[in-house]
Structure 1
């Protein structure tokens, strides 16, 4: 009797984990598509970039809203508002790159982002490894990146900007590994929060890859 109870609980846990994983990837695909559509509209209308201050306020304000509503149906609206806003900020950046003749760089950055995501997610899903050991390194990395970002606002050093892009790629890759591990091991049960974490990681990787490719292309 006790064995049956344990077995039933284990099966229930696996089903719940699979549901979170499935819902996360489904919502991630939808938000990426929505974000791309908003970016396309932003590009077509030639909308200006909102600027650093508005971007930061919008990013953290909407992120706060997502966390406050993550356990309700309003959480879905918050997620689309958040990813739509980031899609809007992408439009002017992509227009600038295309205007400089870098349309192929955008395609390369998109392809690179997809390869990184599928490779990292596939590795964790296949091996089922516990990536919680990355938590300390990611915490330290966050503060290093934050300090470097603040420093670069005043210094505006090209080398520091490139270094930051590389750090963002490494940091976001670590977040994807840890978040995927949390989902399949039952540590993350909220697919809305998991989706936002993965989306932001993909956004950072894409922007960072695009920055690196643009810089190296200009050097040539």
Structure 2
């Protein structure tokens, strides 16, 4: 007897009707809301219990391992469980960053400012993506290439201890993440993404990167006061 719901998806080359695309978008936003709440709860627990960061190697292994599992099981209800595992783990990695930020003189205001800015940007870009008639498919390759370069630059900033480079990378990642939110939402609306599990993961990662980048930027500005 099947104990998990089945994720219904269509081949990427099968056109979706407007109603079907909106249904994928609704399912995506529903699952996204749940995973954001779950990730926030894990992050709050990590702050409350002063959990240490999992470390770069463990983070990369778990992150890409769960992503691989989600893509392999994307048409199965089991993928939903892996999505919660991934977003919960990312909440854990966020905990130490929140702890450091809250230790600043205006740490609580910095967190709320980053959270508010992230929410406002997501809502504005989602509204634009669902109403615009423009073809935004050209953005995909550009944003992917930019994020790869940003990740490599970020790793260099960590290994070589270059604060100025790390700050620049945070600003670039924030811009790229905003672009990805717009692109990914438009893909769902246009029927380019028919699996709400994969759509949820893509949007969650973009929102997570946007928030952490803004948190680091606002944290630096707040520490200079």
Instruction: Report the TM-score, using the length of structure 1 for normalisation.
Output: 0.91
Q: Does the C-alpha gap of structure 1 residues 66 and 171 become closer, same or farther in structure 2, counting only changes over 3 Å?
A: same
Task: State the number of aligned residues.
Answer: 211
SS of structure 1 residue aligned to 2:17: helix
Partner residue of 1:115? 120
Aligned partners of 2:158 and 2:166 also within 8 Å: no
Structure 1 residue 56 and structure 2 residue 53: aligned?
no
Structure 1 residue 191 and structure 2 residue 196: aligned?
yes
CA distance in 1, matches of 2:207, 2:180: 10
Please state how far the C-alpha of 1:126 moved relative to its aligned partner. Answer: 1.7
Q: Does the C-alpha gap of structure 1 residues 128 and 34 become closer, same or farther in structure 2, counting only changes over 3 Å?
A: farther
Please state how far the C-alpha of 1:130 moved relative to its aligned partner. Answer: 2.0
Please state how far the C-alpha of 1:125 moved relative to its aligned partner. Answer: 0.9
**Deviating 4+ runs (over 2 angstroms):** none
Stretches of structure 1 that go unaligned for 5 or more consecutive residues are: 1-8
Structure with greater helix percent? 1
Structure 1 residue 91 and structure 2 residue 95: aligned?
yes
Instruction: Report the TM-score, using the length of structure 2 for normalisation.
Output: 0.89
Partner residue of 1:45? 49
Partner residue of 2:145? 140
Q: Does the C-alpha gap of structure 1 residues 97 and 24 become closer, same or farther in structure 2, counting only changes over 3 Å?
A: same
Aligned partners of 1:138 and 1:175 also within 8 Å: yes
Partner residue of 2:74? 70
CA distance in 1, matches of 2:200, 2:52: 27
Partner residue of 1:126? 131
CA distance in 1, matches of 2:92, 2:151: 23
Partner residue of 1:5? none
Name the Cα RMSD after superposition. Answer: 1.6
Please state how far the C-alpha of 1:149 moved relative to its aligned partner. Answer: 2.0
Please state how far the C-alpha of 1:67 moved relative to its aligned partner. Answer: 1.1
CA distance in 1, matches of 2:24, 2:18: 10
